């Protein structure tokens, strides 16, 4: 008889497993993975050093987004077969290798084989960077994300919303830690050598993730933590349930990612209208402040809305966060106060994060914990699709008709969120049925 892969890669702990350790190191793992959201920190240094266009540098981030979403689609069904320990280790290998390969690509363009002005050297350096950070690193991102969320949800069936909110909050805080702490320190240590900076980041994250992996166990080892089985465990869903969940994720991601990609120019436009005397540096600083505030809102929203869903219910929490965000987008075109504009934008991003914090629990309620990872991976491909389309589409609108683009963007986002609300409400009866005890 063949041995179970989980038994090979994930031996049972000799001591009682403390699930608080699992969520703690899960958050640390997600802090590492969440550094992908800080890619914009490296945009200007890469453009200045290697003479790449904005589109080129942005495309690396788009590849990472796509890699996360579509590798999650592949990884989801494997969590229950291969075990959490095996998959988070594999995620770590891919993620760290992505940074190492990216560092190699940047090193090749640093003059070691010729001038970066030489076309073939320029493209070689860029392709290796994109392959490493975008493709290889993206696979690690998706594998680690879906595994960590599924694992924590399995260990905390009594607090699914709160626990998944905590774990995805770690992903959101990863960008803040990277952009405000880790990356500046690494750049200073390496005297602004980006290739060496990526190497330092790889080494540090390899150490952090190796430790984290040692304290992560699959939820099949949980004892006395499971509630009574529900109808969801064996309920046979039609394909429309999965399709609706996919579109739900796509629609709130469309609104969230579209605004994230335009936050700084939108804020600068409002400020310039309010105070035309502000110079370019002051406007850019205000845009950066909004990005930081929204990042905090994104992280806090992931925990708050997920926690609230444990109290008021998944459907109710989703309806509240989606409709209030839609209302914010509807009134935003009429806001002249920069402060109120920034508050409303931050709230929409907090709700976007809240949707990510709440949807794993909604999926678990509908499909049961054993099928959660597979469905969650499928749903995250909706986020990847939005990541490939929304920033490009909204950016095109902003370039084509900048004077009126913001109004159209806000109304499109509001419409997407209202449609997402309708989808959530269509799941209400099914959700009640699946949550009943079997």
Instruction: Delineate the domains of the chain, giving CATH numbers in brackets.
Output: 16-221 (1.20.1250.20), 231-434 (1.20.1250.20)
What's residue 7's pLDDT?
Answer: 46
Mean pLDDT of 176-204: 91
Closest by CA to 213, choosing from 163, 166, 141, 144, is 144
Of 28-42, 194-208, 270-284, 404-418, the least confident: 270-284
pLDDT of 261: 66
Residue that wins the pLDDT comparison between 369 and 247: 247
Q: Is the Cβ–Cβ distance between 326 and 421 less than 8 Å?
A: yes
Indicate the range of 41-55, 111-125, 260-274 predicted with least confidence.
260-274
- Tell me phi and psi for residue 437, to 5 degrees: -70, 140
67 CB-contact burial (10 Å; exposed 0-12 / middle 13-18 / buried 19+) = buried
Q: What percent of the chain has pLDDT over 90?
A: 43
Phi/psi region, residue 375 (left: phi>0; alpha: psi -120 to 50; beta: rest), is alpha
Position 363 scores a pLDDT of: 94
Cα–Cα distance, 175 to 179 (Å, whole number): 6
Instruction: Give me the pLDDT at residue 5, please.
Output: 42
Euclidean distance between CA atoms 108 and 427, whole angstroms: 52
pLDDT tens column, 79-138: 878 888 899 999 999 999 999 999 999 999 888 888 778 888 889 999 999 999 999 999
- Which stretch of DSSP H or E encloses residue 215? none
Q: For residues 384 and 433, which has the higher predicted lDDT (pLDDT)?
A: 433
Task: Give CA–CA dist 316/220, Å, rounded.
Answer: 30
pTM of the model: 0.83
- pLDDT above 60 for 4: no
Q: Is the pLDDT of residue 286 over 50?
A: yes
What confidence score (pLDDT) does residue 227 get? 62
Q: Where do the H-state alpha helices sit in 275-368?
A: 280-312, 314-331, 338-367
pLDDT at 8 over 50: no
What distance, in Å, lies between the first and last C-alpha atoms of the chain?
A: 33
Environment class of 23 (CB within 10 Å of its CB; exposed 0-12, middle 13-18, buried 19+): buried
Reply yes or no on whether the pLDDT at 177 is more than 90: no
Cα–Cα distance list, 152 to 160, 176, 231, 236, 383 (Å): 8, 22, 21, 25, 21
pLDDT of res. 263: 65
User: 106-115, 305-314, 399-408, 416-425: which range is least confident on average?
Assistant: 399-408
Residue with more model confidence, 131 or 219:
131
Q: Which of 376, 378, 374 is nearest to 358 (CA)?
A: 376
- CB count within 10 Å of CB 401 equals 12
Does the structure show a pLDDT above 80 at 151? Answer: yes
Question: What pLDDT shows up at residue 80?
Answer: 78
H or E stretch including 420? helix 402-426
Residue 20 CB partners (closer than 8 Å, separation 6+): none
Band of pLDDT at residue 10, cut at 50, 70 and 90: low
Q: What is the pLDDT of residues 301-341, one digit of tens each?
A: 999 999 999 999 999 999 999 999 999 999 988 888 888 88
Question: 174-188: string of b/e by CB count within 10 Å (b at 16+)?
Answer: bbbbbbeebbeebbe
């Amino acid at each position: 008889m063949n041995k179970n892969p989980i038994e090979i890669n994930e031996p049972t702990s000799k001591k009682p497993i403390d699930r608080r350790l699992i969520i703690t190191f899960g958050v640390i793992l997600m802090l590492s993975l969440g550094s992908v959201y800080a890619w914009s920190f490296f945009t200007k240094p890469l453009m200045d050093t290697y003479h790449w266009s904005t589109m080129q540098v942005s495309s690396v981030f788009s590849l990472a987004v796509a890699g996360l979403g579509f590798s999650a689609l592949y990884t989801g069904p494997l969590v229950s077969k291969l075990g959490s320990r095996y998959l988070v280790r594999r995620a770590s290998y891919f993620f760290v290798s992505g940074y190492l390969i990216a560092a190699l690509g940047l090193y090749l363009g640093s003059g070691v084989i010729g001038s970066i002005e030489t076309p073939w050297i320029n493209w070689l350096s860029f392709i290796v960077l994109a392959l490493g950070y975008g493709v290889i690193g993206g696979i690690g991102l998706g594998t680690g994300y879906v595994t960590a969320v599924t694992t924590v949800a399995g260990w905390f069936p009594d607090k699914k919303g709160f626990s998944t909110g905590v774990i995805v909050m770690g992903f959101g805080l990863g960008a803040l830690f990277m952009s405000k702490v880790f990356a500046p320190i690494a750049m200073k240590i390496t005297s602004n050598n980006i290739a060496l900076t990526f190497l330092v980041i790889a080494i540090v994250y390899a150490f952090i993730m190796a430790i984290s992996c040692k304290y992560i166990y699959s939820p099949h080892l949980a004892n006395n933590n499971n509630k009574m089985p529900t109808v969801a465990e064996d309920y046979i869903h039609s394909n429309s349930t999965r399709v609706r969940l996919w579109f739900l994720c796509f629609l709130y991601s469309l609104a969230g990612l579209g605004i994230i990609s335009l936050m700084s120019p939108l804020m600068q436009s409002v400020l310039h209208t309010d105070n035309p005397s502000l110079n370019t540096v002051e406007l850019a600083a205000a845009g950066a402040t909004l990005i930081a505030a929204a990042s905090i809102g994104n992280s806090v929203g992931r925990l708050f809305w997920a926690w609230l869903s444990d109290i008021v219910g998944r459907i109710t929490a989703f309806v509240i966060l989606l409709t209030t965000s839609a209302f914010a987008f509807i009134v935003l075109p009429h806001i002249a106060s920069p402060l109120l504009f920034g508050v409303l934008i931050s709230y929409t991003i907090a709700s976007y994060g809240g949707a990510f914090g709440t949807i794993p629990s909604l999926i678990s309620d509908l499909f049961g914990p054993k099928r959660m990872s597979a469905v969650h991976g499928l749903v995250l491909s909706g986020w990847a699709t939005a990541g490939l389309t929304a920033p490009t589409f909204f950016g095109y609108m902003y370039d084509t008709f900048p004077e009126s683009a913001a109004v159209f963007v806000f109304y499109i986002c509001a419409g997407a969120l209202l449609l997402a609300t309708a989808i959530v409400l269509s799941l209400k009866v099914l959700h009640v049925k699946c949550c009943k005890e079997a």
